Chain A
Amino acid sequence: MKEIRVHGRGGMGAVTSAQVLAIAAFKDGKQTQAFPFFGVARRGSPVEAYCRIDKNFIRVRQQVSEPDYVLILDKSLVDAVDVLKGVNKDSIIIINSAETIKLKTKAKVYHVDASKIALDIFGKNLVNTPILGAFVKATGEVSLDSLNKTIIERFSENIAKQNIEAIKRAYDECSE
């Protein structure tokens, strides 16, 4: 089973990130689960969302405490919350940042300037779907094809087109 933790801020769409990943993985023929941190989310406050991917139906419903993958939608969260909680040397971290971020971990850290991509394409700092392109590149856990199909189902035609473009750019621009 692969476990994913998404760190974001209220309003950034961390839950959507987790849900889109879950649906995309399902389209790849896997069993999935996604849920938000059960809290009282206020706009701007640190939030978490979780996703699990497995061969078999997922029965555990506890929050992800030892993630295989960590997605960080806003780099300021690194100082605000313990984004490395439960991370081990085999984990992969993907962070929205223009430059390399030094984290106290042996895990691989990828970065992508998802905010710039989002501002270029949407004119707004909507990074929750673009960063999934970087996730695909860094982990290979879901296919780009299924991710794009999920986007097409979830959003109206124009918005889906922009999202797919943003995902492609994040995929290409993501680096260690």
Chain B
Amino acid sequence: MIMVNIAGIIKDVGTTTQVKTGAWRTFIPDVTDKCTGCKICESFCPDGCIKVNPKTKKAEIDYDYCKGCLICENECPFKAITSKMENK
């Protein structure tokens, strides 16, 4: 990227969402039936890509952005999140 305008001011904001960081994953987390919808994973996810679906009361992972850090798996008190190596 070359910034040629005055002071490199960025007026096109929120462009981070264009970077689909899901490609960075080595391990992929999976939410199993044990999920109680407690939202702990939601609050711990450093990328904000887990949301508990209000209808199903289950956590859902946005794999477009999930980097596979597995903090969710580590934090889940119900062992409801499992992970495996992703075959890309």
Given contacts A43-B69, A44-B68, A44-B69, contact A125 B21 (CB under 8 A): no
Taking CB as reference atom, which chain A residue is nearest B22?
A: A44
Interface residues of A in 43-93 (CB under 8 A from B): 43-46, 74-76, 79-80
Q: Are A76 and B27 in contact (CB under 8 A)?
A: no
Q: Are A9 and B24 in contact (CB under 8 A)?
A: yes
Q: Does B26 contact A (CB under 8 A)?
A: yes
Q: Are B67 and A125 in contact (CB under 8 A)?
A: no
Q: Does A17 contact B (CB under 8 A)?
A: no
Q: Does A19 contact B (CB under 8 A)?
A: no
Task: Please count how many residues in chain B sit with their CB below 8 Å of the partner chain's CB atoms.
Answer: 11
Task: Pick the contact of A45: B24, B27, B88 (CB < 8 A).
Answer: B24
Q: Does B85 contact A (CB under 8 A)?
A: yes
Q: Are B23 and A74 in contact (CB under 8 A)?
A: no
A46 to B19, CA, bound (A): 13
Taking CB as reference atom, which chain A residue is nearest B67?
A: A44
Residue pairs across A and B with CB atoms within 8 Å: the count is: 29
Per DSSP, chain B at the interface is loop
Q: Does B39 contact A (CB under 8 A)?
A: no
Q: Does B25 contact A (CB under 8 A)?
A: yes
Q: Does A115 contact B (CB under 8 A)?
A: yes
Interface residues of A in 20-53 (CB under 8 A from B): 43-46
Chain B residues with CB under 8 Å of A119's CB are 85
A44 to B65, CA, bound (A): 11
Interface of B toward A, CB cutoff 8 Å: 21, 23-27, 67-69, 85, 88
Interface of A toward B, CB cutoff 8 Å: 9, 12, 43-46, 74-76, 79-80, 115, 119, 125
**Leading 8 A-B pairs by shortest Cβ distance:** A44-B24, A44-B67, A76-B88, A125-B26, A80-B23, A9-B24, A45-B24, A43-B69
